[in-house]
Copies of this chain bind each other. A is one copy, B any other.
Amino acid sequence: MKKPTLASLAAELKVSRQTISNVINFPERVRDETRARVEAAIERSGYRPSAAARALRNQRAMALGMRLSPMRDGISGAFMDSFMREMVVAADRKGYRTVVFPALTRVEEVERLAELLGSLAIDACIITDTWTDDDRPERLQAADIPFVAFGRPWGREDHGAWVDVDGRAGAAEATRFLVGLGHELIGFIGWSDGSPVGADRKAGWEQELGLSAADADRLVIECDDLFEAGAEAMEQLLERGVTAAVCASDTLAVAAETVRRAKGMTDVAVVGFDDTTVSRAMGLPSVRQPVDEVARIALDLLLARLADPEAPSEGVLVAPVLETREG
């Protein structure tokens, strides 16, 4: 028993290929009785349209490409994985498959995407982890590769379509939460890697407290996004009299919280970022990035672009949510 095709099914049912094709793609064009008969035959035979033939004929792969983001250190490292999950789910709902591929550098990423698009294996792509002066957007535009970015155009003019989470607002909300708990000296533990995302979060904290530059400097510690470094940073902040800390990641927050617990300081509070399983398990407040919403919006932007390549590209900023772990 060979795999059924449009032609074989058509011969069997004594209708034309076109009729079956219509049943699948434009059911309203076919008479009810015929449609029912064809649908039954499709069901019975287990016929599945060949994605390859479709792609060839329609010049549409119905697939999206996405680089497998490199392994990250720390507890928050799984964050991009969860975004990828949501992206794949969203694409799936719209009938798009997702092709993942490895790449060591941004340049290689763009090369691979060009290859996949050129060979009609994907129609468009999603890029993540935009950075200051990231040149992928312009490379992709130059190569005519439709894309959407998770991450805004840090220091760029035109950047194509993008979605991002307002980290500044999230950090500000976390800070307000701590102020609401009665804290007055609230520190910030951030990243020392020059990440624009980290700078944005720090800005939210700073803005909310309206600190003088000198005070801000005293209350900030920037370090690697690692457990040990975070613990060290918390020790230092506590020595400086701080009673609460906003952290740029859950990795740092979990470390800070561990220090707090070790010292039994029940009047000290910590807020993290990314709402990871670990902070959730520890009952640690954390700023959640709504990845599902981000993925949905990103996909909508991408599909809009595919539908009308001439349309101007948009950027969307999504508000994060502080999970306070209360009631």
Contacts and interface: CB of A to CB of B under 8 A. Distances in A.
* Copies of this chain in the oligomer: 2
Contact of A85 (B75, B102, B115): B102
A278 interface: yes
A61 interface: yes
Interface of A: 3, 46, 48-53, 55-56, 61, 63, 68, 71-75, 77-78, 81-82, 84-85, 88-89, 92, 97-102, 115-116, 118-121, 226-228, 258, 261-262, 277-278, 281-282
Contacts of A55: 51-52, 55
Top 5 nearest A-B pairs (CB, nearest first) are A48-B118, A52-B55, A51-B119, A52-B56, A51-B121
Nearest to A255: B281
Nearest to A279: B227
Contacts of A73: 277, 281
Contacts of A78: 77-78, 81
A181 B192 CA distance: 38
B101 A98 contact: yes
Contacts of A48: 115, 118-119
Nearest to A264: B262
20 contacts: A46-B118, A51-B121, A52-B52, A52-B56, A52-B121, A53-B120, A63-B99, A68-B84, A71-B85, A73-B281, A74-B281, A75-B278, A77-B78, A78-B81, A81-B81, A85-B102, A97-B101, A98-B100, A100-B100, A262-B262
Given A99-B98, A100-B88, A101-B88, A278 B53 contact: no
Contact of A277 (B50, B77, B89, B101): B77
A115 to B, nearest CB: 6
B77 A3 contact: no
Contacts of A92: 101-102
Given A49-B119, A88-B101, A98-B99, 14 more contacts: A48-B118, A52-B52, A52-B56, A52-B121, A55-B55, A71-B85, A72-B277, A73-B281, A75-B278, A77-B78, A97-B101, A99-B99, A226-B281, A228-B281
